[in-house]
Structure 1
Amino acid sequence: MISRNRIDAILSNPKRSGSSASASDAFAAPKKERPGLATTFGRSIKSAMTSTSFDRASSRPAGIDAIYYNDREGLKAMNVTSDETTEGFQTVAGDMLEWGIKGNFGFLTSYRSYSHGRGYRRFVEGTHGGTYSIVLHNRCKCDLQVVLSVDGLDVIDGKTASVTKRGYVVPAGETLEVEGYRTGYNSVAAFQFSTVNNSYANLSKGDTRNVGVIGLAVYTPKGQDPWTWMPKEIKQRETASPFAKAP
């Protein structure tokens, strides 16, 4: 987990914005702020977490997905247009899980945009200073484990993200809202849109290569079939006809 003291120390470090310069830096070209949004630490939020066991069915995730984010100007520069809007929730891992990015007034405006060589990608539009949360809904009849990353950092320990790390367990049929980077068993620091220079990725690692993306990896439990009684099967039974015409 990320220490709250560590967060405060980073945010109060006078060197974090490049205000301190050596003699050799006096003749160097000024560092240019990268445009667009990134994520930093917002206010502290009460968010209790308990430990639970979860035996993965495989070392490989059942599904991996990503949602990219930026401000309106940045999305335009990335050729994301207003006629590509889509629903706030999207499914992943064969429809086992739904997820989306929620702002202060519901899900952020979402887009599904196609780019040559990369296919369709999901984008959401944020605003500087706004906070957001990651909403996960388990559509299965068994628990799922979900590993999350923001700007290339794991949301639980704040270190470089990896699908092999532990994640949140979302109980069968339930919804989990992850509001920030975990700072303790009872609190998180809210995800807040910021400049790239003030992002946690930059302040803690000095690495901004992966800002602007939220990642997810889904694992199923060992010894359980997550496909049993999925919504598609239930719908098919509910719409079955006693006197259907021959195919």
Structure 2
Amino acid sequence: MILRFDAWRERACPSAQMIFRLPIRSAVMFFSRLKPLAVTMLATALAACMSQPMADRVAAVSMETAPDNAMAHKSVAQAERLGTQWGDEVQSSVRHVNLIRVDSQPLAEHVLHYSAKDYRGRSLNSISLAAGRVALSVQGDNRRALPIFRDNGRYFLRGKAGQAYRLVYKNNSDKTLEIVASVDGLDVISGKAASRYLNGYVLRPHGTLEIEGFRKSNDAVASFIFGKPSDAYAAHSDAGSVQNVGVIGTAVFELRDPNRAPEGAANPFPADGGRDNGYAKAPR
């Protein structure tokens, strides 16, 4: 059985004076466990058992190694380093849906370093992931993109202590995708040491996913807030370490609906799948 979550919010309609439900995100959270050709999402577990050493699970994108982290901070002064705090509670509801991964290997993996360093040069509004299928940007409370800088294929985000931020993923493709994200080496959903095989958010075709914080429950997250490394959630979590602050990881997977018939497959009851309301149709 494969489970995921969809997010909804109730809003009053001024003209009709009625309550209706609108999706606030096209993204959903689902539980996963690796299998030979697919990952089965489980409702009873938020984390898959991993045999890799903890050092290999520091980020959702395990390409980041200890030497790389050292290089990333080599030009960042100690006073310029930032971590991400466990911030204010933000409403964010989720529900279960069913999907599985097409492949156990991600389409793309990415690392974004952040600090308070005054980077120079031309800034970027977003980062292209998975050959342009996904665009990643980081927004502040005013929904303006925070400046990202590129240097020799590496990406650096400039933030300020006390500033709240959110990760924004835009799906430019016709495929349903999964986003597995980590902040400071911690999975944004479970709070455990991050791994590409942990839970992810589902990003609908041409949809947008906003990750505003560490998930506290099915209905709320603790907002991401830049702060001193010593105040970071990673520094006050059994699964985290202050040594891992200043990095945001992303892994992208393609998903499929296991209950959906393959394209071109024969349908024994074709009339049952239509939307006929029983009334006469307009002329063609």
Q: TM-score, normalised by structure 2?
A: 0.60
Match for residue 6 of structure 2? Answer: none
Query: Aligned ranges for residues 2-41 of structure 1 at < 5 Å?
Result: 36-41=81-86
The CA distance in 2 between the partners of 1:88 and 1:210, in whole Å, is 25
Query: Aligned ranges for residues 47-196 of structure 1 at < 5 Å?
Result: 47-72=92-117, 82-105=119-142, 106-114=144-152, 120-196=153-229
Give 2:231's match in structure 1, choosing from 188, 198, 206: 198
Following superposition, the deviation at residue 212 of structure 1 comes to 0.3
Q: Deviations over 1:154-202 (max 9, x none)?
A: 0000000000112000111011111000001110000001111111111
> Contact conserved, 1:48 with 1:187, CA < 8 A, in 2?
yes
Corresponding letter in the other structure for 2:207: E
Structure richer in helix, relative to its length: 1
> Contact conserved, 2:89 with 2:220, CA < 8 A, in 1?
yes
User: CA RMSD for the aligned pairs?
Assistant: 2.1
**Change over 3 Å in CA distance of 1:104–1:85 after alignment to 2:** farther
SS at match of 1:197: helix
> Contact conserved, 1:35 with 1:196, CA < 8 A, in 2?
no
Query: Aligned ranges for residues 204-243 of structure 1 at < 5 Å?
Result: 204-205=237-238, 207-222=241-256
> Contact conserved, 2:183 with 2:247, CA < 8 A, in 1?
yes
**Change over 3 Å in CA distance of 1:196–1:83 after alignment to 2:** closer
The CA distance in 1 between the partners of 2:155 and 2:97, in whole Å, is 31
Q: Give the gaps of 5 or more residues in structure 1.
A: 2-32, 74-81, 115-119, 225-247
Aligned residue pairs: how many? Answer: 181
Q: Give the gaps of 5 or more residues in structure 2.
A: 1-45, 47-77, 262-284
> Contact conserved, 1:34 with 1:197, CA < 8 A, in 2?
no
> Contact conserved, 1:137 with 1:175, CA < 8 A, in 2?
yes
Aligned structure 1 segments of 4 or more residues deviating by more than 4 angstroms: none
Q: TM-score, normalised by structure 1?
A: 0.69
Following superposition, the deviation at residue 34 of structure 1 comes to 7.2
The CA distance in 2 between the partners of 1:124 and 1:220, in whole Å, is 26
**Change over 3 Å in CA distance of 1:161–1:34 after alignment to 2:** farther
SS at match of 1:124: strand
Greater RCO, CA 8 A, separation 6+: 1
Q: Mean alpha-carbon deviation: is it higher for 158-167 or for 199-208? A: 199-208
> Contact conserved, 1:145 with 1:218, CA < 8 A, in 2?
yes
The CA distance in 1 between the partners of 2:99 and 2:113, in whole Å, is 29
Q: Deviations over 1:41-99 (max 9, x none)?
A: 111001111222221111110100111100026xxxxxxxx443332211111111111
Corresponding letter in the other structure for 1:94: A
